[in-house]
Amino acid sequence: MNVGDISNRDIMQAITELGQQVSGLANRMEKIETRVSDLEIEVKRAGNELKQDIRKLDAKFSVLSDSVVETKADMKLLKQNQH
């Protein structure tokens, strides 16, 4: 096909097709950006929940550790009183 064989109509059709492809790509890109934004929010929320859970576990562990220390002390006193 020579350059002279290409009509204005062919050029306009090609431009229209390219425009449709670009529009489709722009829509896909917008959906991807929205999904990424949603995922960022979800990850941040999950991270905050994990931090809260870790703080709760840390507090429970501290209480449990204190109880173990108290129990050991009580056992030591009981053993001393038995002798």
The token pair at 41 is 């929010």
Q: Which residues contact 63 (CB under 8 A, 6 or more apart)?
A: none
pLDDT at 4 over 90: no
So what's the pLDDT on residue 1? 58
* DSSP tally for the chain: helices H, then strands E: 1, 0
So what's the pLDDT on residue 3? 64
Domain positions in the chain: 3-82
Q: Give 24-74 pLDDT, tens digit per residue.
A: 999 999 999 999 999 999 999 999 999 999 999 999 999 999 999 899 888
So what's the pLDDT on residue 7? 92
Cα angle, residue 27 at apex, residues 25 and 29 outer, rounded to 5°: 70
Cα angle, residue 46 at apex, residues 44 and 47 outer, rounded to 5°: 60
pLDDT at 81 over 90: no
